[in-house]
Amino acid sequence: MSGFDHRSYYEMLRDSMSVALVKAVLNKELAESKETRLMASRNGGELNAKQEAEELADFVEFLATDLYEYFPKDLTEVTYEMKLADETGRVGTVEMAEEFLNNLPSTYVDAIVEAKLLADAEDVKRMTTTVMEDYLAAATAAPQNWKDTKPLECELCGREVRLTYHHLIPRSTHARVLKKRIHPEWMLNRVAWLCRLCHSFVHHCEENMELAKNWYTVELLEQREDIQRWIAYISKRPHRAHVK
Ligand SMILES: [Zn+2]
Ligand SMILES: [Zn+2]
């Protein structure tokens, strides 16, 4: 399998940007007073949420386009095969993007700071670093035989896209979970089938131990306000067709 075309690279960047941006918007709202949020929700709740999601999508599109234009060539051509052949351990890691991250286009930085999503250039760099980590992981991921995976729709957003499995009780916590008798052993291997973006978003929301203790079913995850907002956003977004 050869690499993706440019449209796909751009889409991977846009998707990675969505995860970080929606989270930044939710953090900003949390920081604002509760009253303002209450007023906003009384002010025609559902319509507002839909409009917000549209506006956010436009903003993500704008930022991703801006950033992609300045991408160094190797970031738009990197593939799984290159990662395999690489002996430096650099390909597919955020190290590839180091110079780029140190020289982010000012239009991009200013747009995020002016929208009051993040405080300053340092914060923007930090956020963009997670975006690039996510992007490079997607760009250099091993091709998989997706026909073997049963569920068709992401259990959170309902989109029909490639799915990954999320251990509802993350594996890194299993020893502690058993020792502290938080869950019985039979529950440990339960998974949820999530698209890459929802999966990434869930891990942006909480640390693994917190997920294990309090957010160990899809139903529990769905009760969170941040996840509801994320679903409202992502379920409306277009996505690439299945890659065969
Ligand atoms: Zn999803
Ligand atoms: Zn996971």
Q: Please determine, for residue 153, whether its predicted confidence score (pLDDT) is greater than 60.
A: yes
CA-to-CA distance for 175 and 186, rounded, in angstroms?
13
- Mind giving me the DSSP string for 167-222? ESS-GGGHHHHHHTTSS-GGGTT-EEEEEHHHHHHHHHHS-HHHHHHH--SHHHHH
- Mean pLDDT is lowest, of 37-51, 77-91, 123-137, 206-220, for 37-51
Residue 204 C-alpha to ligand 2 middle, in angstroms?
Answer: 10
Cα torsion 51, 202, 113, 10: sign: negative
- Identity of the amino acid at 216: Y
For the CA of 15, the nearest ligand: 1
Q: Please determine, for residue 163, whether its predicted confidence score (pLDDT) is greater than 80.
A: yes
pLDDT of residue 160: 87
For the CA of 157, the nearest ligand: 1
pLDDT of residue 2: 45
Question: pLDDT digit string (tens) for 4-15?
Answer: 666 689 989 999
Task: Tell me, rounded to whole angstroms, the distance of Cα 28 from its chain centroid.
Answer: 17
pLDDT of residue 236: 79
Instruction: Write phi, then psi, for 163 (nearest 5 degrees).
Output: -115, 150
Residue 210 C-alpha to ligand 2 middle, in angstroms?
Answer: 12
Around ion ligand 2, residues with a beta carbon closer than 5 Å are 166
Is residue 187 very low, low, confident or very high in pLDDT (cuts 50, 70, 90)? confident
CA-to-CA distance for 110 and 77, rounded, in angstroms?
27
pLDDT of residue 220: 96
Residue 155 C-alpha to ligand 1 middle, in angstroms?
Answer: 7
Around ion ligand 1, residues with a beta carbon closer than 5 Å are 154, 156-157, 195, 198
Instruction: Write phi, then psi, for 195 (nearest 5 degrees).
Output: -70, 165
Residue 213 C-alpha to ligand 1 middle, in angstroms?
Answer: 22
Residue 105 C-alpha to ligand 2 middle, in angstroms?
Answer: 32
Q: Please determine, for residue 103, whether its predicted confidence score (pLDDT) is greater than 90.
A: yes
Question: pLDDT digit string (tens) for 34-73?
Answer: 555 555 555 555 556 677 778 888 999 999 999 999 999 9
